[in-house]
Chain A
């Protein structure tokens, strides 16, 4: 197997708060290969955004990051200097944020911002950069691209802005794109368009992508590999077909039962639920964080949880089969 483009081991993020230490991300591991799309899915507050910012080196000053390894194509991100990080950001690793309405600077034209993205890393002429900008705008499906360059963000609709953001991310032909909920704020039809665009572009340019979302539908349609995150831990990872075909962790299965699936779920029947709420991660966290909501909780859930399954499909649970059998699912 080839060497992964990005390899993360034991990434831990702690935030000191007035009432204790918030363990926002608790030792997560994952690998990402070139041209591959990894989707990280999880409830609000499970640490998805922080994980992505940790890779970018854009965490707030007060957040403590530690990892045994964060290797990006031979560069160890944990020890990289500020300058090195800055050279990576926007050039080899690009990022797309959730809010298309606010992630473009209102004071500058689309053209200025696109061109800046290129000129920060390549010493190219303004004209060349402009040509590249037009080319990419057309590529992301924006018509009359040349005239858009002189427009300001507020003159574009949400869907168009997100396309601009994507174009901006692609300006330097990055090897890795991190997209943090790029479609959550968009309408369903536009969401589908944007996702399709992202998938097509990554495949075409052989770019690796980490796509963060809380929508299982998006994950299933986009991901090569899936990471299910709960309370700061990756509780299940694996190829999309495996995770959706045979979800091992009780949380993953719970999530899948919660959503109505046209054609599959009987109309009007009760949906599955996961009662309770995400526990606070302030203070010492022991054992499985999901045990407070899990129907299969046993005493051992408080102890250290073993990693189960065989790569690439792995999960964290005291039950060897993730209690699949207990739910009457085929093992």
Chain B
């Protein structure tokens, strides 16, 4: 609270590792933005790229980016930031065998080399226009010597970065304490004002609310719509803010027939279309998600570069869904396992719509990592999933993540992959838009997914806290102040 200049925040999820390359959760992104810096910074409001650890950058050729680094920056442990740190970090994370959790974030980089103490070159594997966006997002720079010494698990227990906040305490499973970095360089992120941030892991929103009531929390986020609504209605002690996020909810279906289901109805286009028609997305958005959520019909978030909206869309029409099922040879429907990892009530509501057209669902709620494992093994016929694109404002962060024959690709469609490859590797914006559009069109026509809605996040804070959330679902402690 304000009195002792410590902001108490709750995380729902316990990070598997604070090292931002070794977790894949939203909380990890929040930590990452506070503790570490990227080379580049994108202003979340204007979407303008600014220098952070780098001061300027130029493409030397299609695949080589040269960056000038900022001088006089120090890591939290006192080490100086130099080109060596960039080279070491890039070369470490780019290597697949080092096991960075979300390969997509780093595997576009081939390597980095030092030109001089404050100049580096990063080589990409393919032509990769989204490089700037990724460098301003998930790629943070680590202190070379320290990281070489302690590795990811050491970094997880005692993180060291250059960011506006330094980590002073990690009690796994319980809380992290961040403290203002007094020596923070002149970054576009700005200087922190609140001295301490105490982040506690409280998995249950309800408990978070209770703690907020009792005054031991100052700010919570990702508060479900119902509770947020009640909070804003009932108490003048709290501010409730709603902001859209890049997170998109969708139904994935086993179009490629990877799961052992026999017969596998999802290999049939008609069935997938029926699923798309069966669900009343508007009702879901209006009654469950509320806020700034929108119905989505493409496999990406509308603000992302290349994410067109005018693709085939499927209106809510249960009769048509039934008819399609009948045409596909399932007049009485069929039954299928139906997985989800979060938002049980959305999943339940969706499964209820599916049941209504005859698709009997055997609902299974797993933890994310467990579902992902199953998914990678191709054992999930149908699931309700979400993707937040790591706040990368480029369609490649989502559609290319899932439709390029990776282990999470349920469509395994060659045509889509081909177009996405072109779009991903072109430097020409027009070409990229064209091919993303083609790919997204095809995904919609083939109804590989049933895109549902975009998420929103509710931020509930005490009146003591002043904060304006951004649309990319990242909590920025640096931007928080006391009232």
Contact, chains A and B (beta carbon distance below 8 A): no
Residues of A bordering B, CB below 8 Å = none
